[in-house]
Structure 1
Amino acid sequence: METQDIDYRAEAVNLGGYLAFDETAAGRRPGVLVFHEGLGLGEFAMARARMLAELGYVALAADMFGDRRQARNLQEVVKLVGDLRNEPEKLRARGSAALTTIAALPQVDANRIGAIGFCFGGSVVLELARDGADLKAAVSFHGVLATRMPAASGKVKASVLVCTGADDPLAPPEQVKAFEDEMRGAGVRDWQVISYGNTLHGFTNPAADGSMMRSALYSAQADRRSWASMRSLFEEVL
């Protein structure tokens, strides 16, 4: 497997992504974007990119904060995430810059691109789908479902999969229902929400032990099941 840093830009912001792929594979193959948690692009998202590369995809772990900035505490997470979520056009533009970057890679079939995201990254994936990005699949793992710019009728192209914890305070039942109503109202042809019982926020990350955020706790079972659901969707649409 080959891994390398890859620099790209969104307007005046320098973004530092991380690319993983099987350098021995011939021909173009599907690409998958990986969007990081609120802490920034770090080892967790990079490890997921490598896992996708092992499955035969070209994976680009994107940088949403610029210069691969890392938050050091919850206060910095709130500031970095809030600055983008409060300006959804800027958030979507940065996500789109990553999509443009992966689509231009010589190893990638630009007609077969998916995107996954964790926590904050899950909301990025959903914002791209709402914006009509050329994605075959959009998968959110314990992402925030609320939005300032709901999907317009007929605009979503991607197959949408939301994997959420039933006890996640960042995606409470009323927001899950509002998201489902949004998907119905926008006429999204293929969407699904999987809710894992007795599961909190951050369930895919083994480092989520409740120390930084009490409501974030790893669940090996939900992690395994949600990854399997993603793989099944990718095998079908990519």
Structure 2
Amino acid sequence: MIQRQTILYGGPGGPFEGVAAFDTDWTDLRPGVLILPNVLGEKEQDRVTAERIAALGYVALVGDLYGQGKRTTRESPDPAVYMNPLNADRPLLRDRLFASLAALHALPQVDTARTAAIGYCFGGKAVIDLARIGADVLGVVAFHGIFDPPGYAYPMPIRAKLLICHGWNDPLAPPEAVTGLAAELTAAEADWQLLGFGGAGHAFTDISLKTSTRPGFGYDANADRRSWAAMTGFLSEVFA
């Protein structure tokens, strides 16, 4: 039976509160997947994703990059109130990423030699940073992520494999940002792949935006389905 568990952990600016999902019938160690949420922070949508990851046979942890109790909604006066300081201080984001990954590794069900990370929007930027900083993950998957580099030197070559799932009409990551990331990852000798979905924009996995009328933003069923399938194949490969 798949079960959720609230996980409290430390780090700069903490405490932090994440949610793990795993099957209570398992008796062996399983690969672990860190899930990093979008601009709003950890929420029910991410917990459901964690359960879907657990159903694939992995242990999932929804990480918290903002701090316990620091969450927003789309109706908040400033939905990006907790994201903006991390965008402005990428070393702080780096340190919180290390803390979240350490929390995943600390789960007793996790095979620490086989971990990966996936992220959405801001979380997509975060998982690319995980690969950049040489974190102990085998691979990362970014869904409609943001691609600007962190502004500090990082170890090369990049060891983690990367899968970038991108809506081609995403105004937050225009074609020049995509080619810039490709050039960066190539220079870093990374094993990377990019899936671009024509007609899809930012947040194409977010079903709560199914009726969005904002140009370049909204749910796209085809891109959502295809990117999830690509992710499952990618995780199977890196955990093999």
Give the TM-score taking structure 2 as reference length.
0.94
For residues 105-120 of structure 1, the aligned pairs below 5 Å read 105-120=107-122
1:165 Cα offset (Å):
0.3
| In structure 2, C-alpha distance between the alignment counterparts of 1:69 and 1:131, rounded to whole Å | 25
1:229 maps onto 2:227 in alignment: no
- Give 1:11's aligned residue: 12
Equivalence for 1:33: 34
Query: How far does residue 85 in structure 1 lie from its aligned partner after superposition?
Result: 1.1
Runs of 5+ consecutive residues of structure 2 not aligned to the other structure: none
Cα separation, 2, equivalents of 1:232 and 1:28: 20
Scaled by the length of structure 1, what TM-score is found?
0.94
SS in 1 for 2:16: strand
Which of the numbers 161, 164, 182 marks the counterpart of 1:162? Answer: 164
- Summarize the Cα distance change of 1:9–1:152 in structure 2 as closer, same or farther, 3 Å threshold: closer
- Secondary structure (helix, strand or coil) at the match of 1:176 reads helix
The number of residue pairs the alignment matches comes to: 237
Match of 1:89 among 88, 91, 104: 91
Q: CA shift at 1:31, angstroms?
A: 0.1
Secondary structure of 1:76's aligned partner:
coil
Q: Deviations over 1:173-232 (max 9, x none)?
A: 0000000000111111x1011100000100001001465955320011100000000100
Whichever residue aligns with residue 174 of structure 2, its letter is P
Bigger Cα displacement from structure 2, 3-12 vs 17-26: 3-12
1:130 aligned residue (129, 132, 135): 132
Equivalent position of 2:46 in the other structure: 45
For the Cα contact (< 8 Å) 1:60–1:102, is it kept in 2?
yes
Name the residue aligned to 2:65: 64
Match of 1:181 in 2: 183
With over 3 angstroms needed to count, the CA separation of the structure-2 counterparts of 1:147 and 1:210, relative to structure 1, is: farther
**Alignment-derived partner of residue 146 in structure 2:** 144
CA distance in 1, matches of 2:227, 2:16: 28
Give the whole-Å Cα distance in 2 for the aligned partners of 1:68 and 1:208: 24
Distance change in 2, residues 1:174/1:208 (3 Å): same
Task: Give the aligned CA root-mean-square deviation in angstroms.
Answer: 1.7
Deviates more, 1:17-26 or 1:79-88: 79-88
Q: How many percent identity over aligned positions? A: 38
Question: 1:129-183 CA deviation, whole Å, 9 max, x = no partner?
Answer: 1001011110000010112336746242211010010000011000000000001
For 1:99 and 1:2, the matched residues in 2 are separated by 20
Per-residue deviation, 1:92: 1.1
1:164 corresponds to which letter in structure 2? H
Stretches of structure 1 that go unaligned for 5 or more consecutive residues are none
Confirm or deny: 8 A CA contact 1:165 1:200 kept in the other structure. yes
Q: Displacement, 1:79?
A: 2.7
User: What secondary structure, in the 3-state scheme, does the structure 2 residue paired with 1:129 have?
Assistant: helix
Q: Structure 2 CA distance, aligned partners of 1:205 and 1:6?
A: 24
Cα distance, 1:68–1:49 mapped onto 2, change above 3 Å: farther
- The AA in structure 1 aligned to 2:33 is V
